[in-house]
Amino acid sequence: MTETYVCSNCHATVTRPFEIRSIIRTCDECGTNGRFLHQSLVESLASLPADELPDDWDALPLDKRFELALKRGLIQLTRG
């Protein structure tokens, strides 16, 4: 079983044989060293109400979107 992680900057994906919320690595596509979010977290961002999001939402890296959504209480993490 493998899990998919998404680059916060260019949205390239990598797979790993473990499941955690995010990993830090250098992206093979864009060369940025940063956070890759688990695919399920990225998918949760797509379901947020547009009227609750800032105007520059689409310009933010995925990890910044996720942090902002958490701070605003738009998404919640559960312990698994």
Tens of pLDDT along 11-69?
Answer: 999 999 999 999 999 999 999 999 999 999 999 999 899 999 999 999 999 999 999 99
What's the pLDDT at 77? 79
Task: Find where tokens 């990225």 sit.
Answer: 42
CA distance 15 to 19: 10
41 close to 23: Cβ distance less than 8 angstroms: no
Task: Find where tokens 């060293």 sit.
Answer: 33
pTM beyond cutoff 0.85: yes
